[in-house]
Amino acid sequence: MQGVHFDTRRRETAAGGSGPAGSAATAFLLVIPEKHAAFGRDYTLEPHDRVLAGTGPEVSYTQWLDFTPAKVPGLAAVQYVDCKTAAGQAAHVEAGGWWTRSGSGAHSLSN
């Protein structure tokens, strides 16, 4: 899709947070403006879908099992999808997630 925003950043846990102090993970945020693509009509997106900035490779059925964040640099697995509205109209879709160096995250992103 054209006109989307894909941002990656480092997410760190502070003391007293949900994980050990100083633990870190890579996080991403994908924003798809409704004016560029209509959710449900032009595309679908849900948790466990995989996203990659730029143009990704063609992946055959047999290659799909190895097409994971743990094995493919820059690949991310969606953990949440949130449709945002403005004045009662669809505005954009936000999707995001995070993973550790091993490729695991809140929903085992290595799988």
Distance (Å, whole) CA 74 – CA 14: 25
Q: In degrees rounded to 5, what are phi and psi of residue 10?
A: -90, 130
**Do 109 and 68 touch, CB atoms closer than 8 A?**
yes
**Spatial CA neighbour of 70 closest among 103, 48, 97, 100:** 103
More confident residue, 9 or 30: 30
Does the structure show a pLDDT above 80 at 14?
Answer: no
Q: What is the per-residue pLDDT across 69-86, written as a single tens digit (0 to 9) for each?
A: 878 888 888 999 999 999
pTM for the whole structure: 0.74
